[in-house]
């Protein structure tokens, strides 16, 4: 991959501008919607953090890195640009500790980025797509999880997690899938809900279902109790598989247990 001579915060700032976020006001509002943080103090904290991230004064946590990727449509970029986004973030993580606290007196980003390697045609299409996505993101949100995901944001479908019809993950490992493409009639395990404590049984399906985001192109189903390999638990822990069953064409985007998920039914 070509060396574009950029740092991650420059790419972040450039992509914000490409998406129309010349300052941090609207983006901070979108961030608060996704994280379900309300009130003036939450907005001000998000605004200052975004300014610091865009200037390179702090590096966001991995959770916030994934949320930024969702809000900015990073999954819509081609493979090389997605890899550049992730690679430079990992480099920034190694250079300085991740931080959320704003630096006193730090000014907001000027919106004058280094050049982001996007073609003009792709920029127009992606910007238009973002406007549609932002209108529906808030409707697909769910609550936070107390445990990080067991696979990275580049996770792909694994055997047994996509099938024609119902899925039973009893006794099997459950992975988080960030992006899933299905046909009507297919089902996919997109995540797993673990118990409140490591090693504890997961909640019942009747407890899990009300917390899941609303979806228009399908419905949620219980995938049985398998296990997740959780970093928080330092190993496997019981989890209930959350299955999406596709019924009709559409795109769903939401945050599930702190992880971004995109489902395309076509």
From first to last of its 266 residues, the chain has per-residue pLDDT tens of 444 568 899 999 989 988 888 888 889 888 888 777 778 888 889 999 999 999 888 999 988 898 898 888 888 888 888 889 999 999 998 876 555 443 333 334 434 444 444 444 444 333 334 333 333 333 333 333 333 444 444 445 576 789 998 999 999 999 988 888 899 999 999 999 999 899 999 999 999 999 898 889 999 999 999 999 988 888 999 999 999 999 999 988 888 888 878 889 99
Q: Are 30 and 47 in contact (CB under 8 A)?
A: no
Predicted pLDDT at 127: 39
Predicted pLDDT at 156: 53
Predicted pLDDT at 226: 94
Would you put residue 73 in left (φ > 0), alpha (ψ -120 to 50) or beta? left
DSSP state of 150: S
Inter-axis angle of helices 40-55 and 25-35, nearest 10:
120
CB neighbours of residue 117 within 10 Å? 15
Instruction: Indicate the SS3 state at residue 239.
Output: strand
Predicted pLDDT at 243: 96
Pairing of strands 250-256, 259-265: antiparallel
Place of tokens 């702190």: 258
**CA distance to 5, 202, 210, 231, per residue, from 214 (Å):** 42, 22, 9, 28
Predicted pLDDT at 265: 93
Express each pLDDT in 16-71 by its tens digit: 988 888 888 889 888 888 777 778 888 889 999 999 999 888 999 988 898 898 88
Q: Which two tokens stand for residue 173?
A: 């490992």
CA atoms within 13 A on the CB side of 21: 27
Tell which residue, 158, 164, 156, has the closest CA to residue 226.
Answer: 158
**CA distance to 63, 68, 108, 237, per residue, from 11 (Å):** 18, 12, 16, 37
Predicted pLDDT at 113: 41
């Amino acid at each position: 991959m070509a060396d574009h001579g950029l740092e991650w915060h420059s790419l972040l700032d450039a992509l914000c501008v490409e998406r129309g976020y010349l300052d941090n006001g609207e983006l901070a509002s979108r961030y608060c919607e996704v994280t379900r943080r309300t009130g003036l103090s939450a907005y001000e904290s998000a605004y200052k953090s975004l300014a610091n991230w865009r200037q390179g004064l702090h590096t966001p946590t991995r959770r916030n890195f994934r949320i930024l990727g969702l809000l900015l449509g990073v999954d819509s970029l081609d493979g090389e640009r997605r890899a550049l986004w992730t690679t430079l973030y990992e480099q920034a993580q190694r250079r300085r500790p991740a931080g959320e606290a704003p630096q006193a007196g730090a000014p907001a980003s000027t919106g004058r980025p280094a050049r982001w390697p996007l073609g003009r045609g792709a920029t127009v299409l992606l910007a238009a797509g973002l406007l549609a996505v932002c209108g529906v993101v808030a409707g697909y949100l769910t609550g936070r999880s107390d445990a990080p995901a067991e696979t990275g944001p580049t996770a792909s479908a694994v055997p047994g997690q996509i099938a024609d019809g119902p899925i039973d993950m009893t006794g099997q490992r459950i992975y988080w899938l960030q992006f899933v493409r299905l046909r009507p009639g297919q089902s996919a395990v997109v995540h797993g809900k673990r118990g409140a404590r490591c090693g504890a049984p997961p909640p019942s399906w009747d407890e899990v279902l009300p917390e899941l985001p609303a979806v228009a192109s399908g419905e949620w189903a219980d995938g049985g109790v398998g296990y997740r390999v959780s970093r928080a638990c330092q190993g496997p822990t019981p989890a209930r598989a959350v299955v999406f069953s596709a019924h009709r064409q559409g795109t769903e985007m939401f945050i599930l247990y702190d992880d971004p998920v995109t489902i395309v039914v076509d």
